[in-house]
């Protein structure tokens, strides 16, 4: 068989896979394109015609974004989301790393019990704890404040963080830690000066997942913050849908603004994500 015939045969065998991928990608991209187009259309055009008519009537406006920031409150909501998500992500990564490192590299009584308990907590749905935790936070006076969201989101992601980082720290070369100990570095100094800098992929993977979950979470901020001035973008966009009567222009503009930050974070840290996930899984 000639080389040309071989290439044609391979292309024919791969054609169903390629067509399937193209179809799935199209089905995923088309709604996103519609959201972006609606965000730049006038309210009248958004109501009277479909987004695909932009091909024949290319009329764009950025007024929707200005209205979403001022009238819709997206500007303040973005700051609130950062005030919730950034501390939550930092605390989750820090506490998970410390706990996973202690369980992986230190010897103490009950270590296996603690590890098994942490992994077992992964099967507990957070929704089962909403009522008792809400009552507890109300008694402590935390309901209606951003720290209540911190505590809840950090507490329920730490077990997964420990599970993800345990395998990575377990396979960390012991010779390096022994050499550090001979040089006079204690456990804390060795952890922050040696282990953490070499574990950036795994820590970044955990940070991305926690950041995305915290940023996109609607239920927890809605229950613990309500529609207060500290509400994040998820709660604010949901409120815009009701206050604007389902108007597409300002709502889609607010949704686009809400997507910018997580997209930037993903693009910046994506090179660490796969390495971190595989490092924790394979090494364990």
Is the pLDDT confidence value at 100 over 70?
yes
58 by DSSP, 3-state: which? coil
Is the pLDDT confidence value at 281 over 60?
no
| Mean pLDDT, rounded, of the chain | 81
The mean per-residue pLDDT over the stretch 107-115 comes to: 81
Per-residue confidence band for 214, with pLDDT thresholds at 50, 70 and 90:
very high
- Residue of 187 and 132 predicted with greater confidence: 132
- Dihedrals phi, psi of 60, to nearest 5 degrees: -120, 155
Per-residue confidence band for 276, with pLDDT thresholds at 50, 70 and 90:
low
The mean per-residue pLDDT over the stretch 254-283 comes to: 72
Among 34-38, 157-161, 208-212, which is the least confidently predicted range? 34-38
Q: Percent of the chain scored above 90 by pLDDT? A: 12
* Topology (CATH level 3) of domain 65-283: MetI-like fold (1.10.3720)
- Dihedrals phi, psi of 109, to nearest 5 degrees: -70, 135
- Domain range annotation of the chain: 3-61, 65-283
Is the pLDDT confidence value at 244 over 60?
no
The mean per-residue pLDDT over the stretch 205-230 comes to: 86
CA distance 79 to 218: 16
**What's the confidence (pLDDT) of residue 70?**
83
Is the pLDDT confidence value at 32 over 70?
yes
**What's the confidence (pLDDT) of residue 196?**
83
Is the pLDDT confidence value at 277 over 70?
no
Model confidence over 11-24: pLDDT tens digits?
777 788 888 989 99
Of 122, 98, 64, 278, give the one whose Cα is nearest residue 192: 98
The mean per-residue pLDDT over the stretch 109-138 comes to: 84
**What's the confidence (pLDDT) of residue 126?**
80
CA distances from 73 to 145, 220, 247 (A): 18, 20, 15
- Residue of 276 and 197 predicted with greater confidence: 197
Model confidence over 61-91: pLDDT tens digits?
788 888 888 887 888 899 999 999 999 999 9
Per-residue confidence band for 283, with pLDDT thresholds at 50, 70 and 90:
very low
Q: Is 283 exposed, middle or buried (0-12, 13-18, 19+ CB in 10 A)?
A: middle
Per-residue confidence band for 284, with pLDDT thresholds at 50, 70 and 90:
very low
**What's the confidence (pLDDT) of residue 282?**
43
Per-residue confidence band for 165, with pLDDT thresholds at 50, 70 and 90:
confident
CA distance 168 to 284: 6
């Amino acid at each position: 068989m000639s080389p040309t015939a071989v290439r044609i045969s391979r292309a024919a065998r791969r054609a169903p896979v390629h067509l399937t991928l193209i179809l799935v990608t199209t089905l995923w991209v088309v709604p996103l394109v519609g959201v972006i187009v609606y965000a730049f259309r006038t309210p009248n055009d958004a109501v009277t015609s479909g987004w695909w008519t932009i091909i024949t009537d290319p009329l764009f406006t950025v007024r929707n974004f200005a209205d979403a920031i001022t009238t819709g409150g997206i500007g303040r909501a973005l700051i609130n989301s950062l005030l919730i998500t950034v501390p939550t992500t930092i605390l989750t990564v820090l506490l998970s790393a410390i706990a996973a490192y202690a369980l992986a590299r230190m010897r103490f009584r009950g270590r296996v019990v603690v590890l098994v308990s942490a992994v077992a907590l992964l099967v507990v749905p957070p929704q089962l704890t909403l009522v008792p935790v809400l009552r507890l936070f109300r008694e402590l006076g935390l309901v209606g404040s951003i720290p209540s969201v911190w505590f809840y989101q950090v507490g329920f992601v730490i077990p997964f963080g420990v599970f993800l980082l345990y395998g990575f720290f377990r396979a960390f070369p012991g010779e390096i830690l022994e050499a550090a100990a001979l040089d006079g570095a204690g456990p804390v100094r060795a952890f922050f000066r040696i282990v953490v800098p070499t574990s950036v992929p795994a820590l970044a993977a955990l940070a991305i997942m926690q950041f995305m979950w915290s940023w996109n979470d609607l239920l927890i901020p809605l229950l613990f913050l309500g529609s207060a001035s500290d509400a994040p973008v998820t709660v604010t966009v949901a409120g815009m849908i009701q206050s604007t009567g389902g108007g597409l222009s300002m709502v889609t503009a607010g949704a686009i603004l809400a997507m910018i930050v997580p997209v930037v974070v993903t693009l910046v840290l994506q090179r660490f994500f796969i390495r971190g996930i595989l490092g924790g899984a394979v090494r364990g």
